[in-house]
Amino acid sequence: MRGQAVVVATAVVVVVVVGIIRGSEKEVTWCVARSEAGAMALEAAMDQVCGSGVVDCSPVQPNGLCYLPNTLPSHASYAFNSYYQRSNANPAACDFHGTATVTISNPSYGSCTYPSSISTAGGLISTPNAGGGDDVGDGGRLNPPVVGSTVPAIDMAVASHLCRPLLLVVCLCFVSLLF
């Protein structure tokens, strides 16, 4: 009887651990142009992003895989998203003077694949602190948290990866107590 209880308890712990690990995975997000953004503001922000040399805008050039539809919002979305992904999908890197927003809906279509991670966007760029570096949109500059704010002082993606092994060790210790 005790053997069955141990097997059931072990199975429950494994299911809980797998659920916690899967639930802590970062949701994929993209940065796209806001539908209400004005053409002049979109053009200026896109020119700044593509002109910075930080992102590859060749897919939205004639003969590029994302050139069609040949619309400003479509081209700007691709450029904004490339910058956003290269900034580690930091929400602060998806504003561009109010012309962009973060979405969980994949904007890719046909043969046009929007980058969905640092690696598919061409690698991480360093995002300067307030008062320094480039000013690509409003998102190119991170401001320090206000005193008393609840903004975490550590990168939660890193913390999440550090917690997984710790959680596994705790669960294994629990299972070993059952024997």
What value does the mean pLDDT take over residues 161-178? 61
> What is the model's pLDDT at position 72?
97
pLDDT digits (tens, 9 = 90+) for 105-147: 999 999 999 999 999 988 887 654 323 334 454 444 333 333 3
Tokens linked to 13: 């712990």
> What is the model's pLDDT at position 126?
61
Query: Between these two residues, 7 and 72, which has the higher pLDDT value?
Result: 72
Q: Which of 130, 117, 128, 99 is nearest to 30 (CA)?
A: 117
In this structure, what is the dihedral angle of CA atoms 107, 113, 114, 120, given to the nearest 10 degrees? 150
pLDDT digits (tens, 9 = 90+) for 41-70: 999 999 999 999 899 999 999 999 999 999
Per-domain boundaries in the chain = 2-24+155-178, 30-121
What value does the mean pLDDT take over residues 94-100? 96
Tokens linked to 98: 């109010």
Sequence-ordered alpha helix ranges (H) in the chain: 2-23, 39-51, 72-86, 118-121, 156-178
